């Protein structure tokens, strides 16, 4: 991997050179140095220096292609200089960056910036996940507008019960002092929440939850203890404060940066915050490299986001 900048201002300067961008992409896509044609698989590939593109010299192919092919950047009319700065911003801004702000910074439209951010979030999604062990906290939170901020007629239409009614549920599981796994779930019933815990947590681990009845029954393979938040928040080592810390970071981004998030896109914003939390001990450059290492073989078209 070529030397990468260490700050945003350095990133802007470094990636303003398209040759630097292409060299970076070359090392990500073809680390062994052998450039391969994405159409026919031939290694008879040459660079068209005047156009900053590649051409396959295999008979019967002769196709031209860019360094973006086969990545989240594919078919984007925006240059890699803008893409790399966008990746740097979204991976290293603690509370995220809105599409309006990114559009102003890069000099592009808000729609283009919104599409860029969702493509980058696709690369930020966790792949394989090692099973958790030790002390585990599990909790769920509700995401949605506050009743007090709604107009009276909207509040009467949407709020027909307790504050959680009509909101989206996000479940989180965290290894204390380590990584977190979070995602949108259909409901907070036992048959929904417990299988997710059993899938990612090793048997014999300590699992701490709140007093929600949906968690009853975990003691068959775990050391399960609960804390009733109506009475107390901490009892010795038993608490879900690590999970609450993650929820505060997630909601700070949703309410403070993004303001309004469509329910069907919420999982993407959760993935974004999960990545930043799990890679919190890395430097800005290391987080940037971590996302860039995941851009291959992924694509998200605008029609998929808006359908």
The whole-number pLDDT of residue 19 equals 92
**d(C-alpha 218, C-alpha 245), whole Å:** 23
User: So where are the chain's domains?
Assistant: 8-127+285-306, 135-261
**d(C-alpha 86, C-alpha 103), whole Å:** 10
Joined tokens for residue 234: 């901490």
The whole-number pLDDT of residue 158 equals 54
Burial zone of 4 (CB within 10 Å; 0-12 exposed, 13-18 middle, 19+ buried): buried
CATH fold for domain 135-261: Nucleotidyltransferase; domain 5 (3.30.420)
* H/E stretch holding 248: helix 241-253
The whole-number pLDDT of residue 289 equals 95
The whole-number pLDDT of residue 15 equals 94
Joined tokens for residue 81: 């200089």
Question: What is the CA angle 119-104-94, rounded to 5?
Answer: 60
pLDDT tens, N- to C-terminus, the chain (307 residues)? 557 799 999 999 999 999 999 999 999 999 998 999 999 999 999 999 888 899 999 998 999 999 999 999 999 999 999 999 999 999 999 999 999 999 999 999 999 999 999 999 999 998 767 899 999 999 999 998 655 555 555 555 555 545 566 789 999 999 999 999 999 999 999 999 999 999 999 999 999 999 999 999 999 999 999 999 999 999 999 999 999 999 999 999 999 999 889 999 999 999 999 999 999 999 999 999 999 999 999 999 999 999 8
Question: What is the CA angle 269-146-90, rounded to 5?
Answer: 20
The whole-number pLDDT of residue 151 equals 56
DSSP lists the bridge partners of residue 185 as 169
* H/E stretch holding 140: strand 135-143
Please state the φ and ψ torsions of residue 136, each to the nearest 5 degrees. Answer: -120, 140
**d(C-alpha 164, C-alpha 181), whole Å:** 22
Q: Which region, left, alpha or beta, applies to residue 60 given φ > 0 means left and ψ of -120 to 50 means alpha?
A: left
Secondary structure (3-state) at 110: helix
Joined tokens for residue 196: 């997710």
**d(C-alpha 67, C-alpha 83), whole Å:** 12
Give the number of other CB atoms < 10 A from CB of residue 69: 16
């Amino acid at each position: 991997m070529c030397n990468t900048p260490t700050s945003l201002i350095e990133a802007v300067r470094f990636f303003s050179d398209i040759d630097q961008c292409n060299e970076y992409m070359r090392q990500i896509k073809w680390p062994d140095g052998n450039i391969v044609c994405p159409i026919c698989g031939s290694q008879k590939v040459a660079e068209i220096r005047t156009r900053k593109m590649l051409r396959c010299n295999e008979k019967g192919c002769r196709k031209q292609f860019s360094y973006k092919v086969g990545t989240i950047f594919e078919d984007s009319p925006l240059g890699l200089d803008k893409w790399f700065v966008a990746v740097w911003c979204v991976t290293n801004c603690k509370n995220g960056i809105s599409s309006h702000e990114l559009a102003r910074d890069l000099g592009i439209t808000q729609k283009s910036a919104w599409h860029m951010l969702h493509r980058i979030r696709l690369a930020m999604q966790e792949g394989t996940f090692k099973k958790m062990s030790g002390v585990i906290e599990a909790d769920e939170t509700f995401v949605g507008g506050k009743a007090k901020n709604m107009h009276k007629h909207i509040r009467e239409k949407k709020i027909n019960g307790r504050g959680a009614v009509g909101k989206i549920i996000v479940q989180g599981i965290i290894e204390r002092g380590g990584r977190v796994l979070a995602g949108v779930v259909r409901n907070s019933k036992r048959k929904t929440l417990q299988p997710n815990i059993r899938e990612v947590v090793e048997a014999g681990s300590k699992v701490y939850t709140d007093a929600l009845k949906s968690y009853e029954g975990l003691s068959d393979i775990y050391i399960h203890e609960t804390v009733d938040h109506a009475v107390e928040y901490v009892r010795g080592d038993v608490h879900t404060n690590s999970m609450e810390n993650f929820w505060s970071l997630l909601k700070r981004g949703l309410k403070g940066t993004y303001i309004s998030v469509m329910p069907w896109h919420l999982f993407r914003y959760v993935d974004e915050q999960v990545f930043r939390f799990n890679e919190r001990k890395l430097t800005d450059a290391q987080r940037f490299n971590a996302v860039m290492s995941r851009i291959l073989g992924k694509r998200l078209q605008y029609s998929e986001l808006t359908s």
